[in-house]
Amino acid sequence: MSDTPAKTFDSYLRRYATIFVVIVVGIGLMVGCSYSGLAPSVRLALILGLAAVNASLVVCFLMHLVTERKLLLSMLFITALYFVALLVLSTYGYHDVPHLKSGV
């Protein structure tokens, strides 16, 4: 949270209130999507996409990662790689077992 000390409380309030409103709109859209008549795969992609947008807002602006030091960013990059690898490997592992893939 490397903000300049000259900011007033009201400027913080305005900024965070705006982000909160955007996040709530994102939540509303996710719920709306889940009740829409879209195909399940499209619905899933849309909902997870909106969740990713909300998550980015939290990480970038509420956790102030956009203004943080490079050291943190490089550390988190490695963590993110690990996280993605976990998800990809489990999916890959599933497709690697023929009897699971065929749903038997």
Partner 1 sequence: MDIPYTSKVRPDTGLYNGKLGVWLFLASEVMLFGGLFSAYTYLRIGAPLDTWPHGWMNVTLGTINTVLLALSAITTLLAWAALKTKQFGRYKLFGLLTILLACAFLGIKSYEYRDKLTHYQVQLNDGRVADGHLVENNKDADYILLRGHYAANATELLDGRAKGHPAHEELKIARTDIKSLKNYGPALNNFLAIYFSITGLHAIHILGGIIVFAYLWGPGSKMWFTAPVRFTNRVETAGLFWHFVDLVWIFVFPLFYLT
Which residues fall within 8 angstroms of residue 61, CB to CB, at 6 or more apart? 15, 19
- 74 touches partner 1 by CB under 8 A: no
60 binds partner 1 (CB under 8 A): no
- The terminus-to-terminus CA distance of the chain in angstroms comes to 51
CB atoms within 10 A of CB 86: 10
Q: State the residues that interact with partner 1 by CB under 8 A.
A: 1, 3, 5, 7-9, 12-13, 16-17, 19-20, 23-24, 27, 30-31, 33-34, 43-44, 47-48, 50-51, 54-55, 58-59, 62-63, 69, 71-72, 75-76, 78-80, 82-83, 86-87, 89-91, 93-94, 100, 103
